Amino acid sequence: MIFETWWLLALPLVFGLGWMAARFDVRQLMSEQGALPRSYFKGLNFLLNEQPDKAIDAFIEVARLDPETTELHFALGALFRRRGETERAIRVHQNLATRPDLPDPEREHALYELGQDYLRAGLLDRAEESLRRLMSGPYEASAKRVLLELYEVEKEWRKAIDAAREIQALNRQDYSVQIAQFCCELAQESLQRKEPEAAVEWLEQALRENPKNVRARMLLGDVAMAAGDARGALRHWLSIETQDASFLPLVADRVVKAYRELGEAGQAIDWLRGLLKTGLAAELLDTAYRAELELNGAEAAVAVMREQLRRQPSLLALTRYFDAQAAQASQSAEVAIAGAGEAAATDAPVATAAGQEQAQEVAAIRDLLQLRTRNLARYTCRECGFRARLFYWQCPGCNRWETYAPRRTEALG
């Protein structure tokens, strides 16, 4: 191999250039770090240590020293909104949106954030105005989702339907559940205005949007019942079994009432007793107990609740059993008192006192159980865990639709 003399000059030159490049990168990095205010690093440190108040103060100082830091302004606005300081968030995002030198993508971002600020502050008209300016571009889908939320808050159900369909077409997402619920809301408004024909049209549209929508079927039964068509109401309510049988307990009282108006109370009892043998028993205990007590008397109610307690024991079943026992003991005591007034036997007062004492003991046990189970059974949202005594189609906690299972849970929390 022939040694080339020019290598002696090339190798030191390469090493020298590499050393100079490294020195340049280090100096540039140091100068960039030096250009950042100390408050910036203090703010980051506060965030890492979960001290948002001090972090906000530090970032405000950075924004004051360097107004060009738009990303920092966005971060500050988001922090303010998350903490509920909507006025400060609005001021930050307004300043960004009105800056003449701001590029269009960042201006759209500021308008989107401003719309959310207004919505959180309850300034719904301003929120809609800001979001409506984003109906094209990268924030179109996000703005329409916030608009949908806004229309739900305003109960503008027609606008909500239009917004949901636009999002559905834009992102190919299925909003049939929400649209059907919006139609049900419009149907209820029609019923409040005493416009049953309009209500039926909205409910039929709800079922076209989502054939599994149980609420529409329930409301159609209500419309029929209000019109005096108990048989038609029963057809609607009983058909829920083919949609989702777990919702039958929500219409159980209505079914019993319809059968009684038709003079067919026995069929209501048979229907309830059949359902008590299924997994729906826990939800039907109250309805079954009342129906048995009113139609067949306390003794029949005791027998049914005792059988149910053996089949599916629970605190709620035990409570209803002692409710029936207390009702039976009370009736027995009344009969004994009436009998004592007519009979002349010497042991009649003793029997009457014993019956009254037994009735008081059973009532005491019943009252204790009722006190213990009064706040026990709750409907629970599958999304956020919000628990409520009443069944809601839209969760009050997370505002999502159809997230409540129609079954209550016996949680001791």
Alpha carbon distance 331, 354 (integer Å): 14
- Closest by CA to 247, choosing from 210, 291, 280, is 280
For residues 388 and 365, is the Cβ–Cβ distance under 8 A?
no
Q: Is the dihedral of CA 290, 296, 299, 303 positive or negative?
A: negative
**Which residues are part of a known binding site?**
381, 384, 395, 398
Per residue in 241-251, is it b (16+ CB within 10 Å) or e — as a string? eebeebbbbbb
Alpha carbon distance 285, 291 (integer Å): 10
Alpha carbon distance 230, 253 (integer Å): 13
Map tokens 């906690």 to a residue: 397
For residues 365 and 322, is the Cβ–Cβ distance under 8 A?
yes
Question: Token pair of 346, please?
Answer: 């010497």
H-helix segments, 239-382: 240-244, 252-261, 265-275, 281-296, 298-311, 315-342, 348-373
381 forms beta bridges with 404
Spatial neighbors of 337 by CB under 8 A, at least 6 apart, are: 352, 356
Q: What is the dihedral of CA 396, 397, 401, 407, to 10 degrees?
A: -80
Question: Token pair of 265, please?
Answer: 């109370």
For residues 163 and 151, is the Cβ–Cβ distance under 8 A?
yes
Map tokens 């109401």 to a residue: 233
**Which residues are part of a known binding site for Fe cation?**
381, 384, 395, 398
The residue type at 164: A
For residues 81 and 89, is the Cβ–Cβ distance under 8 A?
yes
